[in-house]
Amino acid sequence: MEAPKDQNQQNKTEDTNPIPPISYNKTETDVKDREKTSHTAQNNQSQRDNPQPFIVKIEKSKGWSKAEVISVFSILISGALFFMTIQTFKKTSRAVEISDSTFIANRKKDSVLNVKSIIRDSLDSIQRGRDYTRDTTNINIAQKSLQTQISSIKETQKEFEIESRPVIQVTNLKLDSLGIGVKTLIKFSVSNLGRFPAKILNSKGRLYFMENNIKNVIQSRDGFINTSYNVAISNAYDLPVTVTGVPLPENIYNNYVEGRGSFYLQGEYAYTSIATGETFLYRFTYKISNKTAFNVVGIQNEDIKLPKK
């Protein structure tokens, strides 16, 4: 049986179509059921027209279920994790800030140290330059001093060599024998004017007469030519030497006596220093004339130091 949709509509329907009296024959039970149904319908319509407050019936729980415990525990763990995450984030942020500040401070420090290092290197470079200049100056001074010392030593050595070396000279030269047809004799001495002894090695020489630039060799073979010696002489000993010439022709004798010509004695001596072992060569040329009186003139007189072999 469909319930009436609206109370007004129901009232209108009842007024228009009145319910006829029950006249069919049924049992008493059916009548009661019909009345009961009608009464229930009216009560339902009355409840719809007058709404009642909503009442939720909550059954009292005897304890938490397993799902509720898990949910609560999950919430607690999530909260703890969230709290720990927040703390970690804060610590991380703080660490980042500290790291940034430390990095900036270190960079500033490194910049300052770099500047100081550059300044120190510059100062060191300047100091090295000064030291180099000073050392170079000292080296130059030392080199000059060394050169001066070397020069002084060389000069001293030269002076020693000069003072200690032997010096050979021809001395006491004279014309001992002169006449027509007579062998000419010229005598002289080989003297050592130095302080240390000398050893005569060999000698060469010749005697000639010159008139009007014409040479006439008048010495004999057993005279002064290529004489070998092995004798030491000192300043206390002179080596006597005699040069023997050929017999003089009359024209040469007359030319000499009248001063139209002169005798020439030319030679050389090779000798060594016993002290230093150095070798020397002594060369000489003497002119013997009789223009106004007997006269000896040295034309050449040199002493040469020979290189070592």
Report how far residue 81's alpha carbon sits from residue 77's, in angstroms, rounded to the nearest whole number. 6
**Cβ–Cβ < 8 Å for 43, 35:** no
Q: Which residues lie below 8 Å from residue 224, measured CB to CB, with a gap of 6+?
A: 203, 204, 205, 206, 207, 241, 243, 265, 267
Average pLDDT over residues 112-141: 83
Residue type, 139: I
Token digits for 190?
Answer: 């080989």
pLDDT-based confidence at residue 48 (cuts at 50, 70, 90): low
Residue 13 has pLDDT above 80, yes or no: no
Token digits for 192?
Answer: 């050592």
Q: Which residues lie below 8 Å from residue 218, measured CB to CB, with a gap of 6+?
A: 184, 207, 208, 209, 245, 246, 248, 252, 263
Q: Give ∠ CA 285-216-294 in degrees, rounded to 5.
A: 55
95-112 pLDDT per residue, tens: 888 888 888 888 888 777
Does the pTM of the predicted model rise above 0.75? Answer: no
Cα 268 to the chain's mean position, in Å?
60
Which pLDDT belongs to residue 3?
Answer: 45
- Which helix (H) or strand (E) segment holds residue 205: the answer is strand 198-211
pLDDT-based confidence at residue 224 (cuts at 50, 70, 90): low
Residue 298, beta-bridge partner list: 286
Task: Tell me how far CA of residue 14 lies from CA of 7, 8, 25, in angstroms.
Answer: 10, 10, 24
DSSP-derived pairing of the beta strands 227-233 and 214-217: unpaired
**Cβ–Cβ < 8 Å for 271, 288:** no
Question: What percent of the chain is modeled with pLDDT above 70?
Answer: 74
Taking the CA atoms of residue 30, residue 35, residue 36 and residue 40 in that order, the dihedral angle to the nearest 10 degrees is 140
pLDDT-based confidence at residue 61 (cuts at 50, 70, 90): low
Report how far residue 248's alpha carbon sits from residue 254's, in angstroms, rounded to the nearest whole number. 10
Residue 7 has pLDDT above 80, yes or no: no
Report how far residue 224's alpha carbon sits from residue 187's, in angstroms, rounded to the nearest whole number. 11
Q: Hey, is 232 helix, strand or coil? A: strand
Report how far residue 277's alpha carbon sits from residue 186's, in angstroms, rounded to the nearest whole number. 32
Report how far residue 10's alpha carbon sits from residue 71's, in angstroms, rounded to the nearest whole number. 54
- Which helix (H) or strand (E) segment holds residue 216: the answer is strand 214-217
pLDDT-based confidence at residue 4 (cuts at 50, 70, 90): very low
Residue 191, beta-bridge partner list: 169
**What is the CATH architecture of 168-306?**
Sandwich (2.60)
